[in-house]
Amino acid sequence: MEFTKVHGLGNDFIIVNGFEEDLKQPNRVAQEVCARNFGVGADGLVLVLPTEVVEADFRMRIFNPDGSEPEMCGNAIRCFAKYLYERGLTEKKSIKVETLAGIIVPELIIEDGRVEAVKVDMGPPGLKSSEIPITEVDKEQVVQESLTVNGEEYEITAVSMGNPHCVIFVDDVDSFPVAEVGPQIEEHPRFPEKTNVEFIEVLNEQELEMRVWERGAGITLACGTGACASAVAAILNDLTARKVEVHLLGGDLTIEWAEENNRVYMTGPAEEVFKGQMTEDRG
């Protein structure tokens, strides 16, 4: 199995060309190759696949280190788009990608023949409790909702970016026990499909600092859909402007929730790390 390792702000992925490689059990392959001590090491396995959807150019599947398959990943789709263009699989600079969250459109920003950044149209956020999903909610939008975890009460805002997010605003994100609280909220019974969890410190009207516990992956250096959800949550709570810089452990993303069309746009980098080959039959 030939692969390429790419990262978006330290959120790293093993990309496999599904036009050339046929992985029979991608869930198991993901568990093996994503293991940092026994495999290549990554936050996810990404497959480049043909699409049967007329409106799309390619299909992306992504598998977490635990073998689960999320609907979407913002950092992964930037890496996916860079891979397509720089491997000559497409000459398009605006690519329609089929995902479990629908068709997502990354737009490549090219300098000297290289992909310097990718701006992704992430579509409109899902704000209804049924879209996230979260149970036991009386109001239509899940804003400033109370969630009790091990006797502690948190005020949450829930957003779907094709996958579920629970956003919590804190005073000091660097000292917050993300590794302790994150998994408890991820598997909270009010989230029937589990959830990603973002802990956000609002620096000012244009900047957020974010730490994330990703569903199926744990603490990661960055989460693109999480940054989008956090920006939307901050706007819903009247804490920021509609365009913000989100500072993550791995770097920064620019997120804009456009008022004119209700769509969320994410702009950030993607970098290739190395290419390799797994000689053992793992799929």
The answer to whether residue 280 scores a pLDDT higher than 80 is: no
> pLDDT tens digits for 18-51?
999 999 999 999 999 999 999 999 999 999 999 9
Calculate ∠ Cα 135-137-142, nearest 5°.
105
Domain with CATH 3.10.310.10 in the chain: 2-121+269-277, 145-262
Joined tokens for residue 262:
């209700």
Confidence of residue 283 (pLDDT cuts 50, 70, 90): very low
Query: Comparing C-alpha atoms, which of 150, 220, 238, 157 is closest to residue 189?
Result: 150
* Mean pLDDT score of the chain: 95
* Confidence at residue 281, expressed as pLDDT on a 0 to 100 scale: 54
The strand pair at 251-257 and 114-121 is best described as unpaired
Please tell me which residue in 73, 79, 166, 228 is annotated as part of the active site.
73
pLDDT, average across residues 225-249: 98
Q: Is the pTM of this model over 0.75?
A: yes
Give exposure, 109-130, as e/b (b: 16+ Cβ within 10 Å): eeeeeebebbbbbbbebbbebe
Question: Could you tell me the end-to-end alpha-carbon distance of the chain, in angstroms, rounded to an integer?
Answer: 9
Question: Do the Cβ atoms of 56 and 89 come closer than 8 Å?
Answer: no
* Catalytic (active site) residue 34: no
Please tell me which residue in 34, 79, 166, 223 is annotated as part of the active site.
223
The answer to whether residue 219 scores a pLDDT higher than 50 is: yes
CA contacts within 13 A on the Cβ side of 172: 4
Give the CATH architecture of domain 2-121+269-277.
Roll (3.10)
The answer to whether residue 197 scores a pLDDT higher than 70 is: yes
> pLDDT tens digits for 144-163?
999 999 999 999 999 999 99
Query: Comparing C-alpha atoms, which of 122, 121, 106, 120 is closest to residue 159?
Result: 122
Q: Which fold has domain 145-262?
A: Diaminopimelate Epimerase; Chain A, domain 1 (3.10.310)
Give the CA distances from residue 68 to residues 28, 83, 145, in Å, rounded to whole numbers and listed in that order: 9, 23, 28
pLDDT, average across residues 97-124: 95
> pLDDT tens digits for 255-277?
999 999 999 999 999 999 999 99
* Confidence at residue 138, expressed as pLDDT on a 0 to 100 scale: 87
Share of the chain above pLDDT 90, in %: 95
* Confidence at residue 282, expressed as pLDDT on a 0 to 100 scale: 46
The answer to whether residue 139 scores a pLDDT higher than 90 is: no
The answer to whether residue 54 scores a pLDDT higher than 50 is: yes
* Confidence at residue 162, expressed as pLDDT on a 0 to 100 scale: 94
* Catalytic (active site) residue 79: no
Question: Do the Cβ atoms of 86 and 80 come closer than 8 Å?
Answer: no
The answer to whether residue 225 scores a pLDDT higher than 70 is: yes
**Can you tell me the distance from the alpha carbon of 182 to that of 47, in angstroms, rounded to the nearest whole number?**
27
Question: What are the φ and ψ backbone dihedral angles of 50, each rounded to 5 degrees?
Answer: -70, 155
